[in-house]
Structure 1
Amino acid sequence: MHDNNKAALFILDDNEQYAELLKEFAEQANWQADFETNVVSFLTQEFPTCDALVLDLFMPDFDGIEVIRMLADRGHRRPLILVSGFDKKVLHSAEQLAKAHDIEVLATLTKPIEMQSFIELLNRVSVSLNQPKYPKTVKQQYSPEEIEAGLRNHEFVLHYQPQICLTTNKINSVEALVRWQHPKDGLVYPDQFISVVEKHNLIELMTQEILNISVKESSAVIQSSLEVSLSINVSADNIIALSLPEQLKALTDKNHLAPHNLTLELTESAVMGELTSSLDVLNRLRMKGFHLSIDDFGTGYSSLQQLYQAPFTELKIDRQFVSSMLFDEEAMIIVKICIMLGKMLNMNIVAEGVENLETLHELQHLGCNFAQGYAIAKPMAVNDLIRWAEQW
C-alpha cells in the first residue's frame, strides 16, 4: 500500500541482492520502496505507483533501452534514475534517449553505487517533489490562414538578443527572433506557429517580413549610435531561392545598411537539402559582403562537410552542449573541439544558450569569441535593446 506521506521509489534490476540493497538505502532516506527482478513481469503487470523508477540498463531478456522505449509507448513517463555497470557512454546515450522520449532523467549512476551518494540523491529528489507544481499552459493552435493573415497585416514583430564579445565585453551583434503580436492572444512565441509556417509554404513570406522589419529597425539602432551587426535566421527554402542575394542587397541598399553588418544564420540541414543550389546562393551572398553563420553546430548529419564546402564566417555552438558543459564531460569536450575547429578555420565562434556566469567565465577561459543567452540578456524589442545597451 502506498503511504501518501512518503515518496515512492520502484527499482527494476535483475540482480535481487542489488535491488534489495537499493531498497534498504531508499528506506534509510525515508522513501517507500519496492523492486522487481523480472523485466517481463514488470512490463506485463500494471505500472507501479511511484515517484521515480530506478532502471538497470544491463539486464537479460529485455535491456533497459527497450524498457525506456516501452514505457514511452505506453505513456508511463515517471522520472528515471539510470544505473549501469557496463559503459559510461551507453549510460550517457540512454539518458539522451529518455529525454528524446520526454522522460525526465534525475541521475545516471555507475555500479557499484555508493550508499551515501544514493541517499543524498534521493533527499534532493524529495525536496524537488515537494515543490509546488505549476500547470502547463495549453498551447493555442493556429491555422495557416490565420498565420498568413497575420503576416500580411504586419502583426509579426522582432525581439533581439544581444551577443557580447568575450574579450572586450562589448555588444557585438544582436540576433533577431520572430514573435507574433496577436490582436487577441498577445505575444505568441515561435513554437506555436513555426511548424505550421514550414508545413504550409509560408516560410518565404515570413522571411521576407522578418528581413523587412530587421533591416528597417537596424537603421534605428545605427541612429542610436549603437554599433552592432544583425543576425537573422533563414530557412532551407530561402537558401535555394536563387534570387535571394540580389533581393537582399537591394533591401540593404534601400535602408542604408552595409551587407557586412548582416549575418544570415543557417542550420546544417538547410544547407544539405539542395546542395548545388544552396552553394550557389551562399557563395553569391558572401561575394556581396554578407556574413554566414552555421547555426546549431554539431547537431546535424554532416557538420564537417558543411564547413568544408560552404563559405561560412561564423560557427554557433548549439545550446544543448553549452548548457550542459559544466556538469557533462562529453558536452564540455564537444564545446572545446568546436572552439578549436572554428579558430583553425579562421571563423568567429558564438556560444548560444549561456544561462549563468559560471558558463560565461568558462567560455572566456576556453577562448570562445562571443556568447549569447539569458546570463547576458533575454530577447527584447528594439527600443528596449537600445535602452539596455546604454546601461551595459
Structure 2
Amino acid sequence: MDSKLSSLRILILEDQLFQRLVAEQVVAGLNIQLLLTAETSEDALQQLQEKGPVDLVLCDLDLPGMDGIEFIRHLANQKLADGVIVLSAMDASIIRTVEDMSQALGLKSLGHLPKPIHRNHLREMLEVYVNGETFDSFKPLLPSEQLLNEQELEEAVEQHQFILHYQPKVLLNDGQLIAVEALVRWQHPDLGLIHPVHFIPMMESSGMIEPLTINMIDLALIQIKAWQQQGREIPISINISATMLSNTSLPDMLMKKTKGMNIPPALLNLEITESSSISDVALALETLARFKLHGFALSIDDFGTGYASMQQLNRIPFSELKIDQSFVSNACKDDTHKAIVESNIHLAHRLNMQTVGEGVETQEDWQMLHDLNCDIAQGYFIARPMPADTLLGWEKQWLSKQPITPHKPAL
C-alpha cells in the first residue's frame, strides 16, 4: 500500500447502520490519518465545520433530510473537502450526473462504489487520488464529457479492448519468480490505458463481469502457452468474481479450454476474494469443488478482511492464502498487524496451503515476511504490474540484485 494513504482524512456519510459499519471497517483497515462518520448530511457538515476539511467524502445520495446531492453542493461551496466518492446503487444516469456536478463545483470526483464497499476498489481509488495520477501511467480521472457507460463497456468487451498486465510473485527464500497475477486494464482507443477502478464496479453491477473474465482467462491461457513455447511454465493467477461461482458450467468450460491448448490446469490459479458475497452457497461450493477436482489451483484473496474467514477455509479446498496488504504493509510498525500476519501464515501452513504476502513495499516488509516463514511475496518492492513482454527482462534484472535473500537475525 502506498504510504501516502496514511495522511488521508476521510468522512463517510451513510444513513444505513450496516452499510456505514461495513464502510467504516473497510476504510479503517487502510490505516488513514483520520476517519469521521455521519448518519445525516447536517451532522456531516457540522463535523467538518468543527474539525476542519477532509481530503475525501464517501457520500450516499438517498439520505433523510438533506439528500446527498444537496450536501455535495454545500461541501463544495464551503470548501470542506477536496474530493468525493459516491456510494450508491441508484440508476447509473443519476450517478453520472452527480459526478459531473461535483466536478463542475470544483470537487475531484473519483467515481462511485456500489454497496457494500469492496476494499480493493476503494484502495485503487485512493491510490489514484494520492498519486495525482494512477500507477502505471493510468489517467487519474476521466473528463466529465467522457464518462463511461454500459454500452461502451459492452462494446469494449466485444472488440477485445481489455488487456492483461502481470505482477510477479516470488519466493521469499531465494527471490525466484514462481507465478504472476493477471490484472485487467482497458486499452481505450481514445483515452489510453484505463485503471480498473473506473470500470469494474459497473461491470459487476451490470452483469458484464463474466464475459470480461472469460476473455481475460483466454488471454491468460494464450500467455501461458507462449511461455511454454519459450521453455517456461509460469502459473497465472486470475481473479474470479463471486457472482460467477453460481455458474456450474465454468469448470467444464475451463477444462475444455486448457485441454484444447494442452495446458495443465494447475497453471491457472483462480483467486476468490474472501470478502466477496456468494449468493448461492451450494452452487458456488459445487463449482469450486469441481475446479479443484480437475486440477485448477484455488486461492483465497485478501484473507482476513471479510466476515467468514474460518468458514471459507473449512468449506473450500484452497491451495493458497493471500494475506491482505493492509496487514502486511503495517506489520513492521504495528505489533497487532504483525501478530495477524504471523497467525495467518501459521494457520495456512497447518492446512497445507502456501502463503502470499501482498503489498510488499519495502525491504523491511520483505524481511518481516521472510522471518515469519511466509512462502511468497508480491508488491511494488518486487515489481509493479507489467506487460508480458517485459516480464522476463524484469526477472533478469531482479535476480541480479544483491542481496535478494535476506538473512534471519541471530537468535
Mean Cα displacement is larger for which, 207-216 or 217-226? Answer: 217-226
Answer whether contact 1:232 1:263 (CA < 8 A) is retained. yes
2:328 to 322, 326, 330: 322
Question: Structure 1 regions of 5+ residues with no counterpart?
Answer: 1-42, 53-71, 79-98, 103-131
Partner of 1:179: 185
Partner of 1:381: 387
Answer whether contact 2:172 2:374 (CA < 8 A) is retained. yes
Q: Aligned partner of 2:225: which letter? A: S
Structure 1: distance between partners of 2:366 and 2:132: 30
Residues 340 and 202 of structure 1, relative CA distance in 2, 3 Å threshold: same
Residues 51 and 164 of structure 1, relative CA distance in 2, 3 Å threshold: same
Q: Aligned partner of 2:304: which letter? A: G
- Say yes or no: does 1:47 pair with 2:49: yes
Structure 2: distance between partners of 1:211 and 1:336: 33
Answer whether contact 2:237 2:268 (CA < 8 A) is retained. yes
- The residue correspondences of 1:234-253 to structure 2 (distance < 5 A) are 234-253=240-259
- Say yes or no: does 1:205 pair with 2:207: no
Q: Aligned partner of 1:355: which letter? A: E
Question: Structure 2 regions of 5+ residues with no counterpart?
Answer: 1-44, 55-70, 83-118, 123-129, 135-139, 400-411
Structure 2: distance between partners of 1:350 and 1:320: 13
Structure 2: distance between partners of 1:273 and 1:139: 32
Structure 2: distance between partners of 1:45 and 1:237: 38
Answer whether contact 2:289 2:317 (CA < 8 A) is retained. yes
Answer whether contact 1:221 1:382 (CA < 8 A) is retained. no
Q: Aligned partner of 2:300: which letter? A: I
TM-score computed with the length of structure 2 as normaliser? 0.64
Structure 2: distance between partners of 1:224 and 1:265: 26
Answer whether contact 2:275 2:302 (CA < 8 A) is retained. no
Structure 2: distance between partners of 1:134 and 1:382: 26
Corresponding residue SS for 1:273: coil
Corresponding residue SS for 2:232: coil
- Say yes or no: does 1:138 pair with 2:124: no
TM-score computed with the length of structure 1 as normaliser? 0.67
Partner of 2:404: none
Answer whether contact 1:236 1:269 (CA < 8 A) is retained. no
Mean Cα displacement is larger for which, 220-229 or 331-340? Answer: 220-229
**Higher gyration radius (CA):** 1
Report how many residues are paired.
Answer: 283
Residues 349 and 192 of structure 1, relative CA distance in 2, 3 Å threshold: same
Residues 327 and 155 of structure 1, relative CA distance in 2, 3 Å threshold: same
C-alpha deviations, 1:324-374, integer Å up to 9, x for none?
Answer: 111222211111111111011110000111111110111000000001000
Partner of 1:60: none
Answer whether contact 1:271 1:278 (CA < 8 A) is retained. no
Answer whether contact 2:275 2:305 (CA < 8 A) is retained. no
Answer whether contact 1:239 1:271 (CA < 8 A) is retained. no
Q: Aligned partner of 1:373: which letter? A: G
Q: Aligned partner of 2:142: which letter? A: K
Residues 51 and 189 of structure 1, relative CA distance in 2, 3 Å threshold: closer
Answer whether contact 2:236 2:268 (CA < 8 A) is retained. yes
Offset, 1:169: 1.6
Partner of 1:287: 293
Q: Aligned partner of 2:196: which letter? A: P
1:193 to 165, 184, 199: 199
2:347 to 334, 341, 350: 341
RMSD: 3.0
- Say yes or no: does 1:157 pair with 2:163: yes
Residues 357 and 46 of structure 1, relative CA distance in 2, 3 Å threshold: closer
Residues 44 and 196 of structure 1, relative CA distance in 2, 3 Å threshold: closer
- The residue correspondences of 1:59-208 to structure 2 (distance < 5 A) are 75=75, 76=80, 137-139=140-142, 141-208=147-214
Structure 1: distance between partners of 2:200 and 2:256: 27
Answer whether contact 1:229 1:263 (CA < 8 A) is retained. yes
C-alpha deviations, 1:69-115, integer Å up to 9, x for none?
Answer: xxx9985459xxxxxxxxxxxxxxxxxxxx9xx9xxxxxxxxxxxxx
- Say yes or no: does 1:259 pair with 2:265: yes
Residues 181 and 242 of structure 1, relative CA distance in 2, 3 Å threshold: same
Structure 2: distance between partners of 1:382 and 1:46: 46
C-alpha deviations, 1:186-228, integer Å up to 9, x for none?
Answer: 0001001001100111011101110111101111122223332
Q: Aligned partner of 1:304: which letter? A: M
Offset, 1:133: 9.9
Residues 47 and 208 of structure 1, relative CA distance in 2, 3 Å threshold: same
Offset, 1:389: 2.2
Q: Aligned partner of 2:346: which letter? A: M
Q: Aligned partner of 1:366: which letter? A: L
Structure 2: distance between partners of 1:174 and 1:196: 26
Structure 1: distance between partners of 2:47 and 2:330: 36
Structure 1: distance between partners of 2:318 and 2:164: 24
Offset, 1:46: 8.9
2:367 to 338, 361, 372: 361
Corresponding residue SS for 1:242: coil
Corresponding residue SS for 1:307: helix
